[in-house]
């Protein structure tokens, strides 16, 4: 069975390092026979906000359709002020809503994970060196993506990695990151 991989480039600017990482990830997945879809935040109309029961924008509907279709989801985003960009967070707020991604039980604190059965990867790029983010800040972006996003909705995290410092990276280091993204894509397939 062909693996279906959805890659979301959650960077608001087209042509970013995040887009290049996504393309290399897709290349690795396609080389192993996966069917790949890529969606770019930079092509999406920004969400002004979301409240339960509100109609979803066409872009969010397509985003949800891609997640529903996928066996494996990969999200790549920059790390700005300790989190993903606000526009990306707005898409997740609207798209990973109750009834689509999870459903709270009527009683108690439990919930059903409606995206169960999928696996996921994430690549986070940052100007913060990875060692500093780990040692001083205790990896908040990676922890949130792994535990409070993926695991919460039933996506089993495989690789949640951070590449940094982008600001200080020489071309050889960026090439290593691109190769790692390709290897991750091949493994996802």
pLDDT at 45: 87
- Residue 115, judged by CB atoms within 10 A of its CB (0-12, 13-18, 19+), counts as buried
For the 4-188 domain, the top CATH level (class) is alpha beta
> Could you state, in chain order, the average pLDDT of each consecutive group of 10 residues for the chain (189 residues)?
95 97 98 98 80 82 97 97 93 93 94 98 95 88 96 98 97 98 98
Question: Among candidates 1, 80, 65, 75, which has minimal Cα distance to 35?
Answer: 1
pLDDT at 49: 63
pLDDT at 137: 83
Predicted TM-score (pTM) of the model is 0.95
Q: Please state the domain extents for the chain.
A: 4-188
Q: Which two tokens stand for residue 95?
A: 């798209």
pLDDT at 132: 85
Measure the CA–CA gap between 66 and 27, rounded to whole angstroms: 18
Instruction: Please answer whether residues 53 and 21 qualify as being in contact, where contact means their C-beta atoms are separated by less than 8 angstroms.
Output: no
């Amino acid at each position: 069975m062909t693996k279906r991989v959805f890659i979301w480039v959650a960077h608001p600017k087209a042509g970013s390092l995040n887009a290049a990482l996504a393309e290399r990830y897709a290349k690795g997945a396609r080389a192993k026979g996966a069917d790949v879809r890529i969606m770019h935040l930079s092509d999406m109309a920004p969400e002004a906000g979301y409240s339960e029961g509100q109609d979803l924008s066409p872009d969010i509907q397509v985003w949800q359709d891609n997640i529903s279709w996928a066996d494996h989801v990969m999200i790549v985003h920059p790390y700005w002020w300790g989190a993903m960009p606000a526009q990306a967070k707005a898409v997740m707020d609207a798209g990973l809503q109750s009834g689509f991604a999870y459903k709270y039980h009527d009683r108690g604190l439990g919930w059903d994970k409606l995206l169960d059965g999928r696996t996921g990867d994430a690549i986070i790029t940052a100007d913060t060196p990875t060692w500093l983010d780990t040692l001083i800040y205790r990896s908040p972006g990676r922890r949130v993506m792994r535990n409070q996003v993926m695991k919460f909705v039933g996506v089993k995290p495989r690789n949640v990695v951070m590449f940094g410092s982008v600001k200080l990276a020489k071309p050889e280091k960026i090439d290593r990151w691109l190769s790692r993204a390709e290897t991750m894509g091949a493994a996802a397939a």
